């Protein structure tokens, strides 16, 4: 045995519950979990023994949708109308970020996520292979690498809400070629699972989307796509496909509502459309902090689960929710679901915790490897100090308060240890190999340059933030 965590409370997430094991132990051999059960029944020895007392040991968290390359723009696109967010707030800043800036932003975002217990991130990006090679592989973090495919220009600040985006088929096909190269290069990589990423129905033509879905069916691959994500998309779909059409109706007519679809956001769907998504086998990913911030809406994740669907949660991008802390995202999902429904029992803590672990893994199609603590699965594990300020006290009788406390009380700093495929990334709250202080310093230097270089374009785009800054509020 390489590593043993002992005298800990295990949340295994086996079966349909949390699979709580008190006074438990978890053993790691190679990249797999070799023992899960009572510490008293463990036989043998380990090269490294971790004292798990005062800690809860859980599967590594699964961030099911993120754009970490935008992390350098944190704070740059909050508090604006949804119709302005992409083209007039984020866009003028993002257009001044170099590929090297995006790598540094991704590195910062991934380290933040890992510090909070994340072991898998679905990274959604153009030329995502660069982030895999320069960020994920060096850090040893598991990723579902989603290559963004779109056919629209980067600079759309001068287009009105109903002015159709022009499509560039050559741009879309080049992105699809990059996606195919990902499958060829990483098809057998134990830490990388590629996926197609058509950005959204308003950003990719129907014929290119049909080609992507045809390949997904043929090869058993996933299509990870933003679906019904707000007013901007709704207006574009109406103008292109007809005033009576919606994203889901068009996707349904195209045969896209299938079990290869990972549908992100979905806050622009009707109950009937969500029922159709569930019936088709589509999996949903909610980003409640991002959508609450950008759209002022609540993703219908609780309703999707109630209908029998599979769902996970993600953090989206930092210049929206402001963070890549997945336990915080689980809390937001629970809280907003309660507020929207007027029901304090909606999406309780135990369900929110499953969203961030096993159900997130199911949403990404990797639940046979991660998301639970079971012998033979990959050793992606996290220990969380439940005796720290903000979480303590925790008790186990007559029930385990660690469950609601993990969701509603963590700050992202209580995580002690993070292992990915048996390799330690974080030990006793410190990174084993990474230098977060150096990453922060470089990120700050680059962000300062980006914001300065983008000022004229940002002012010309004239989002509401320009007036707020000139008035002294920012």
Spans of the chain below 50 pLDDT: none
Residue 98 token pair: 């170099």
**pLDDT value, residue 206:** 95
Task: State how far the Cα of 220 lies from the Cα of 217, in Å rounded to an integer.
Answer: 5
**pLDDT value, residue 162:** 81
Q: Which of 470, 448, 460, 472 is nearest to 76 (CA)?
A: 448
**pLDDT value, residue 250:** 97
Do 278 and 307 contact (CB within 8 A), yes or no? yes
**pLDDT value, residue 253:** 96
**pLDDT value, residue 163:** 82
**pLDDT value, residue 157:** 59
Domains of the chain, start order: 61-363 (3.20.20.140)
**pLDDT value, residue 166:** 87
**pLDDT value, residue 33:** 98
Determine the 3-state secondary structure of 121 from DSSP.
strand
Q: At what angle do helices 206-219 and 169-186 cross, to 10 degrees?
A: 10
**pLDDT value, residue 415:** 97
DSSP string, 141-185: -EEEEEEEE--S-S--TTS-TTSPPPP-HHHHHHHHHHHHHHHHH
Do 274 and 266 contact (CB within 8 A), yes or no? yes
The answer, yes or no, to whether the previous bond of 398 is cis (omega within 30 of 0) is yes
**pLDDT value, residue 452:** 98
Convert the pLDDT of each residue in 297-350 to its tens digit. 999 999 999 999 999 999 999 998 899 999 999 999 999 999 999 999 999 999
């Amino acid at each position: 045995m390489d590593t043993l965590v002992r005298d800990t409370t295990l949340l295994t997430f086996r079966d349909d519950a949390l699979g709580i094991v008190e006074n438990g132990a978890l053993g790691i051999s190679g990249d797999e979990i070799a023992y899960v059960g009572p510490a008293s029944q463990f036989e043998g020895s380990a090269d490294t023994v971790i004292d798990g007392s005062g800690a809860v040991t859980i599967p590594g968290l699964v961030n099911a949708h993120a754009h970490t390359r935008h992390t350098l723009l944190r704070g740059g696109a909050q508090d604006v109308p949804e119709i302005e967010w992409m083209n007039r707030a984020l866009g003028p800043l993002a257009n001044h970020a170099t590929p090297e800036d995006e790598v540094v932003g991704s590195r910062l975002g991934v380290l933040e996520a890992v510090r909070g217990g994340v072991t898998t991130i679905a990274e959604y990006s153009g030329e995502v292979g660069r982030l895999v090679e320069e960020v994920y592989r060096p850090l040893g973090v598991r990723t579902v690498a989603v290559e963004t495919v779109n056919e629209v220009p980067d600079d759309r600040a001068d287009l009105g809400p109903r002015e159709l985006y022009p499509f560039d088929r050559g741009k879309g096909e080049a992105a699809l070629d990059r996606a195919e190269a990902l499958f060829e290069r990483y098809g057998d990589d134990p830490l990388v699972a590629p996926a197609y990423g058509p950005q959204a129905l308003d950003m990719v033509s129907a014929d290119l989307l049909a080609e992507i879905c045809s390949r997904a069916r043929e090869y058993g691959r996933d299509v990870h796509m933003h679906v019904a994500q707000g007013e901007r998309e709704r207006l574009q779909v109406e103008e292109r496909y007809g005033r009576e059409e919606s994203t889901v109706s068009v996707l349904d007519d195209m045969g896209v509502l299938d079990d290869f679809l990972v549908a992100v956001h979905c806050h622009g769907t009707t109950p009937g459309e969500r029922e159709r998504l569930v019936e088709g086998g589509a999996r949903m990913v909610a980003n409640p902090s991002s959508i609450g911030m950008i759209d002022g809406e609540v993703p219908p994740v609780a309703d999707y689960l109630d209908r029998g669907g599979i769902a996970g949660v993600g953090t989206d991008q930092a210049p929206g929710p402001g963070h890549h802390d997945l336990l915080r995202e689980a809390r937001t999902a629970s809280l907003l679901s309660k507020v929207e429904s007027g029901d304090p029992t909606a999406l309780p803590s135990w369900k929110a915790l499953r969203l961030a672990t096993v159900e997130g893994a199911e949403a990404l199609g990797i639940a046979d490897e991660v998301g639970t603590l079971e012998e033979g699965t990959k050793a992606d594990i996290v220990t969380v100090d439940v005796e720290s300020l903000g979480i303590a006290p925790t008790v186990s009788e007559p029930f385990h308060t660690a469950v609601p406390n993990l969701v509603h009380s963590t700050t992202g700093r209580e995580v002690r240890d993070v292992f990915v495929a048996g390799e330690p990334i974080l030990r006793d709250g410190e990174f084993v190999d990474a230098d977060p202080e150096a990453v922060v310093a470089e990120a700050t230097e680059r962000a300062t340059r980006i914001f300065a270089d983008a000022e004229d374009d940002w002012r010309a785009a004239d989002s509401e933030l320009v007036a707020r800054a000139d008035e002294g509020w920012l």
